[in-house]
Amino acid sequence: MTVLAGSLPAAHPKAAGLTSDSPLIAAYEGRTPSHKPVWFMRQAGRSLPEYLVAREGTAMLDACLTPELASEITLQPVRRYGVDAAIFFSDIVVPMKIAGVGVQIAPGVGPVFDRPIRSMADVEALPDLGAPADRGEFDSGLDLIRQAVAMTVAELGTTPLIGFAGAPFTLAAYMVEGKPSRDHLAARELMFTAPDVWDALTIWTATAAGLFLRAQVMAGASAVQLFDSWAGSLSVEDYVAHCAPGSALALNHVADLPVPRVHFAASGGHLLPAMADAGATVLGVDYRTPLDEANTVLGGRFPLQGNINPARLPAPADVLEAHVADVLRRGSEAPGHVVNLGHGVPPHTNPDSLQRIVDYVHDNG
């Protein structure tokens, strides 16, 4: 697999030294941070009253592709909570949208595609992302992402921005189903009945995700996270054969750049060693696998991120704090630990619960 050759622009926050010694980057790189860093997956979104005001009257994908609005939403939880990182506000289907694929976020449903992918002809009809000269519409769309990132890092100062993309398996699964699914059976069936079609589709989704990540990094993101919603449905054998190559290809798009690469898979505790082999430098751990066990499985080789159980967020303060303390204790065994949830913030979460976690981690981490 060819590694791209490149370096960060001189004005990049990490290259310029603004974020290189931040608690987040220090922990991601296995160094000792000034304090234990904490941020939350889906911290920018429906749980914040200010988000609902900002998004009012604007469709989800339109919000993601409006630089001023995407930047504002990204910054909101940093202002409110004092978290140690911003996560770029986006959606996993944004790379497909800007490439020209027909997709929308249906309220109460999720991503819905105009044309599900079921054959090689369907894959071949997708926009060409191969050579730079063939990426006209896609690269033009990425300019909106670059603008949003640049606006955001200008406001963040020493707080790092994390670039975000959905993992190729999850993207491909949505594209095969054409809409959200409980079990993604059609996608998993395609893996075995038409492996050439599946492989071609995951190469396309990996390229889209990888270019999306690289655009965010070159515009100012100091780390990236690849988020896999559905890989946990696979056995280790099937993950290695049909999923890991796509994740590796996506992460390879930023492997030449000096930024941490986080990989997270929901329900993916059994996949952690295989995920590590796909090119991540930090492993996200969901709430089902204790961090000390994850560290043991990984041989103590990787900084970890996680893994507060989102279902405990409404619990009484003493119950929640006891759980956070346990996560801190278990995470301390890893070479580095960034506190996070073991999945995303539920939309009905009381912001006070997240503030309680941030304060507790900063005081006791």
Residue 3 placed within a domain: no
pLDDT value of residue 134: 66
Q: Reply yes or no on whether 214 is catalytic.
A: no
pLDDT value of residue 201: 97
pLDDT value of residue 1: 38
Q: Reply yes or no on whether 188 is catalytic.
A: no
Count the Cβ atoms, other than its own, within 10 Å of residue 146.
16
Closest to 283 (Cα-Cα) out of 212, 356, 226, 329: 226
pLDDT value of residue 182: 80
Q: Omega into 309 within 30° of 0, i.e. cis?
A: no
* Catalytic annotation, pick one of 55, 80, 188, 261: 55
Residue 260 placed within a domain: yes
Range of the domain at 92: 23-364
Alpha-carbon span 222 to 324, nearest angstrom? 26
Closest to 175 (Cα-Cα) out of 192, 196, 193, 200: 200
pLDDT value of residue 108: 84
User: What does the longest C-alpha to C-alpha distance in the chain come to?
Assistant: 57
Residue 184 belongs to domain with CATH number: 3.20.20.210
Residue 13 placed within a domain: no
Q: How many domains does the chain have?
A: 1
- pLDDT tens digit at each of 365 positions of the chain: 344 557 999 999 999 999 999 999 999 999 999 999 999 999 999 999 999 999 999 999 999 999 999 999 999 999 999 999 999 999 999 999 999 999 999 888 889 999 999 999 999 999 988 777 667 778 888 999 999 999 999 999 999 999 999 999 999 999 999 988 888 899 999 999 999 999 999 999 999 999 999 999 999 999 999 999 989 999 999 999 999 999 999 999 999 999 999 999 999 999 999 999 999 999 999 999 999 999 999 999 999 999 999 999 999 999 999 999 999 999 999 999 999 999 999 999 999 999 999 999 999 98
Residue 60 placed within a domain: yes
Burial of residue 305 (CB within 10 Å: 0-12, 13-18, 19+) is buried
Structure tokens at 137: 């519409």
pLDDT value of residue 343: 95
Residue 4 placed within a domain: no
Alpha-carbon span 204 to 275, nearest angstrom? 20
Between β-strands 110-113 and 103-106, what pairing exists: parallel, antiparallel or unpaired?
A: antiparallel
Residue 15 placed within a domain: no
Burial of residue 46 (CB within 10 Å: 0-12, 13-18, 19+) is middle
Q: Reply yes or no on whether 360 is catalytic.
A: no
Residue 222 placed within a domain: yes
* Catalytic annotation, pick one of 28, 174, 287, 360: 174
Place of tokens 């670039």: 163
Contact (Cβ atoms closer than 8 angstroms) between residue 122 and residue 101:
no
Closest to 284 (Cα-Cα) out of 168, 160, 167: 167
* Catalytic annotation, pick one of 51, 80, 91, 287: 91
- State the helix-helix crossing angle for 185-193 and 168-177, rounded to 10 degrees: 100
Residue 6 placed within a domain: no
Q: Reply yes or no on whether 118 is catalytic.
A: no
Contact (Cβ atoms closer than 8 angstroms) between residue 45 and residue 90:
no
pLDDT value of residue 180: 84
Q: Reply yes or no on whether 182 is catalytic.
A: no
